[in-house]
A and B are shown apart, each in its own frame.
Chain A
């Protein structure tokens, strides 16, 4: 054991490593063809700034394993980033069905891995637990028929009278989630619901979290009970004020329903999707430009 006097000066002064990166840095962490998990829930806590950066980056062939989403997954479909989507549902809520999803299914441009809540939960939990598969009850749905890879018949001598299905683990290469607050070490605080984000963070190899507010460690540690995901599970933190817009960020701001409605209407056809992407994503160099474009309407 070294005596304190023997510790080299540069080691004693080592600074705790910051995990802060930009949305563009985050996009570069998502390799083409990788499996990406998306957190939040429909109009809430979707990491939209990172999604916009991924679209600008031109990522392609992604396999998205998503919490129930709205504009988040739909915009990735509209931009042609996805090869496959696995999600229990996708909706624009009161503004109707998800338009790019609907169109891509109609044109057979997207592989749909049809799953329900138990399928998603079991596949992520098995990944988080480092088990090869999870077990769920057979509920008599038609899902095994259209998705035999994810819903596999399972029998075991320990449970001869049970009707079970095995769901293979899905280990996301990258998880994209959004929290209201975080510090530079990756501790994430939620001021509302957490949805699937904790499970997603436990399951993924790499976790990228956008936060609306980057706060000091001193401020964050005043409310440790709000830290729902500890920094040791988080690879990178992307501070972006209003980073979930047009979705809401629970406890900080509501969904921008007008903008979401505009998207739902525009994205109904290819020309409108191109217009939206040009005006709000590809035509904006960064998030500051996006916010300005939103303000201009």
Chain B
């Protein structure tokens, strides 16, 4: 068998490694359902540069599972060996009200727009949608209250990168880019977006999505062609710094031993 660390990363592994680099030591994060990439990023950060990072499963209340295999975040397999198992009926204080518990969250959606607003509810008209999504989840409060949040988009097309999302279920910077400040939300909002084509942040003044780096298999032209609005572009757009062999090896041997991300395509 070939050395698994020598195999090229899948897009999901690539994304998890990029995200892990953003997570700071001692930071406290919260993860929701269907978040294997975020789960991997947290565990990888703990195993590398952020040993004091904390992350909690929103649904199950598991804290720091250190399981070695990626499981659905609500799964009871994560309980054994975790540092805590809390009760959601109590955790709602931290999740749904507190403005100071979580330093970061990782969110996604069926649509994102130029101001980092996310939609998980419906494409088209809410009352008679073209595509009905799963619902608002609890993402709006994490987007509003976590110190910062990261957006992971598994697809990047003109269909899901919209000028304005059809329904704001989690607010980035709002309809005009200024609503966060107007509402007095404490968090800094979306700080980074990772798509299968590149890494993006938001401009300081207008809070518009801006290209930072381009993944090695993509190009600025491809990103522009697949985005449904005019992107800001950093003065010096660089190639994305690729996963190092040691990051990939740790991901595969410590975090994701059964290869959940290895087998996962980007467009899940």
Chain A residue nearest to B74 (CB atoms) is A41
- Report whether A97 and B140 are in contact in the complex, using a CB–CB cutoff of 8 Å: no
- Report whether B135 and A194 are in contact in the complex, using a CB–CB cutoff of 8 Å: no
- Taking CB atoms and an 8 Å cut-off, the chain A residues in 123-150 that contact chain B are 125, 136-143, 146
Q: What chain A residues lie within 8 Å of B143 (beta carbons)?
A: 139
Q: What chain A residues lie within 8 Å of B33 (beta carbons)?
A: 41-42, 68, 89, 91, 93
- Report whether A118 and B140 are in contact in the complex, using a CB–CB cutoff of 8 Å: yes
Chain A residue nearest to B132 (CB atoms) is A105
Chain B residue nearest to A87 (CB atoms) is B135
Tell me the complex Cα distance, A146–B126, Å. 8
CB proximity of A86 to chain B, nearest CB, Å:
10
Kindly state whether residue A228 has any CB partner on chain B within 8 Å.
Answer: yes
Kindly state whether residue A218 has any CB partner on chain B within 8 Å.
Answer: no
Q: Which of A68, A141, A199, A250 contacts B76 (CB 8 A)?
A: A250
Kindly state whether residue A276 has any CB partner on chain B within 8 Å.
Answer: no
Contact mask for chain B residues 125-148; partner A; CB cutoff 8 A; 1 contact, 0 none: 011110011111111110111000
Q: What chain B residues lie within 8 Å of A197 (beta carbons)?
A: 89
CB proximity of B207 to chain A, nearest CB, Å:
13
Kindly state whether residue B49 has any CB partner on chain A within 8 Å.
Answer: no
Number of A-B contacts (CB under 8 A): 162
Segment of A4-12, A108-116, A288-296 engaged in the interface with chain B: A108-116
Chain A residue nearest to B136 (CB atoms) is A116
Tell me the complex Cα distance, A87–B171, Å. 19
Kindly state whether residue A278 has any CB partner on chain B within 8 Å.
Answer: no
Tell me the complex Cα distance, A130–B179, Å. 34
- Report whether B97 and A43 are in contact in the complex, using a CB–CB cutoff of 8 Å: no
- Report whether A248 and B76 are in contact in the complex, using a CB–CB cutoff of 8 Å: yes
Tell me the complex Cα distance, A137–B96, Å. 9
Tell me the complex Cα distance, A42–B145, Å. 25
CB proximity of B45 to chain A, nearest CB, Å:
24
- A41-B59, A116-B140 known; A93 and B126 CB under 8 Å? no
Q: Which of B87, B128, B137, B168 contacts A198 (CB 8 A)?
A: B87
- A97-B134, A101-B132, A137-B144 known; A43 and B72 CB under 8 Å? yes
Q: Which of B75, B132, B137 contacts A88 (CB 8 A)?
A: B137
Q: What chain B residues lie within 8 Å of A194 (beta carbons)?
A: 61, 87-89
CB proximity of A251 to chain B, nearest CB, Å:
6
- Report whether A141 and B168 are in contact in the complex, using a CB–CB cutoff of 8 Å: yes
CB proximity of B75 to chain A, nearest CB, Å:
8
- Report whether B89 and A139 are in contact in the complex, using a CB–CB cutoff of 8 Å: no
Kindly state whether residue A195 has any CB partner on chain B within 8 Å.
Answer: yes
- Report whether B141 and A117 are in contact in the complex, using a CB–CB cutoff of 8 Å: yes
- Report whether A140 and B135 are in contact in the complex, using a CB–CB cutoff of 8 Å: no
Q: Which of A41, A116, A250 contacts B141 (CB 8 A)?
A: A116
CB proximity of A38 to chain B, nearest CB, Å:
14
- Report whether A139 and B76 are in contact in the complex, using a CB–CB cutoff of 8 Å: no
- Report whether A117 and B96 are in contact in the complex, using a CB–CB cutoff of 8 Å: yes
Interface residues of B (CB under 8 A from A): 33-34, 59-62, 72, 74-76, 79, 85, 87-89, 92, 95-97, 99, 120-121, 126-129, 132-141, 143-145, 167-171, 174, 179-180, 183-185
Known A43-B74, A117-B95, A143-B136; 11 more pairs at CB < 8 Å: A89-B120, A90-B135, A91-B33, A108-B128, A114-B121, A118-B140, A118-B141, A122-B96, A140-B185, A146-B127, A195-B60
Interface residues of A (CB under 8 A from B): 41-44, 68, 87-91, 93-94, 97-98, 101-102, 105-106, 108, 114-119, 121-122, 125, 136-143, 146, 161-163, 191-199, 202, 228, 248, 250-251
Between A and B, 6 residue pairs with Cβ closer than 8 Å are: A88-B135, A91-B134, A105-B129, A142-B167, A192-B79, A192-B85
